[in-house]
Amino acid sequence: TQVLRKSLQKGVVLSAGSFLVYEAHKLISGFAEVHASFKVEDVIEQADYLYGSGETEKLYRLLVQHKNSDDAELLWRLARSSRDLAQLGSTSAEEKKQLTYDSLEYAKKALEKNESNFAAHKWYGICLSDVGDYEGIKTKIGNAIIIKEHFQRAVELNPKDATTIHLIGVWCYSFAEMPWYQRKIAATLFATPPTSTFQEALRYFHMAEEADPNFYSKNLLFLGKTYLKLNNKKMALLWLSKAKEYPAQTEEDKQV
């Protein structure tokens, strides 16, 4: 009735038949929207299952079909999947480079779609760092502050995400052990070059472990490496032993 009244006010006369068609169209459109939202949830559920099962190639094939999606949850997963595929030993150097740049684009798009998505910030920071490997040390150092800002924003949005806390630790470790020639480059890029210490890195690695104990083989490795840098061989041995005994499920675990 309201639809008819509004239509008549606009000078549009709807016949009983056209009104029924209009209502049916609304109903079908509404159903399609709901169906589409269920479809996204289904894809995400399937993607998370494949990720947990270590099915890197299957996961990528599933998600790349949705590269034009407007859903940040799908897009950051695609960024992660593209990066994981790039890390496989069977991936050629040319494919690895393409996947690395693709992953950054997907993460960037995820951020554009939802700035409040912590995982989009995390994977944007990771992928931006990866691209730096192809663009030289000057670009990599120049992006360093942007990368850290995205990691910190991710932790603000999700303080319990141990992986991002670990990544800030890696950032600190990298700047703590930076060789003199890289420090010189940093001094030309920034008025106040970013710096850190092994003690600061250690604090973040322990924070990550407290947030989610034994969550990541690489965090155990970095705890051991950092204690070595601080000349504490007893604690280094403890954490390196844990890293060595960690059940290897991924390619990265095996490398650790």
69-99 residue pLDDT tens: 999 999 999 999 999 999 888 999 999 999 9
The answer to whether 59 and 67 are in contact (CB under 8 A) is: no
φ and ψ of 196, to 5 deg: -160, 180
**pLDDT score, position 30:** 44
φ, ψ (nearest 5 deg) of residue 163 = -60, -40
- pLDDT value, residue 137: 83
pLDDT above 50 (res 218): yes
The residue among 33 and 247 whose pLDDT is bigger is 247
- Inform me whether the pLDDT recorded for 163 exceeds 80: yes
pLDDT of the residue at 38? 52
Confidence of residue 171 (pLDDT cuts 50, 70, 90): very high
Whether residue 200 has pLDDT greater than 50: yes
Please report, for residues 83, 166, 206, 217, the alpha-carbon distance to residue 86 in angstroms, rounded to integers and kept in the order given. Answer: 5, 21, 29, 19
Q: Which of 22-36, 55-69, 93-107, 149-163 has the lowest mean pLDDT?
A: 22-36
Nearest-CA neighbor of 81 among 95, 97, 102? 102
Least confident window among 24-33, 183-192, 238-247: 24-33
What secondary structure letter does DSSP report for 212?
S
Lowest mean pLDDT among 31-35, 111-115, 125-129, 247-251: 31-35
> What whole-number distance in Å separates Cα of residue 189 and Cα of residue 20?
66
Question: For the residues 3-19, what does the mean pLDDT come to?
Answer: 39
What is the rounded distance in angstroms from the CA atom of residue 22 to the CA atom of residue 30?
Answer: 12
Question: What are the structural domains, with CATH classification, of the chain?
Answer: 33-132 (1.25.40.10)
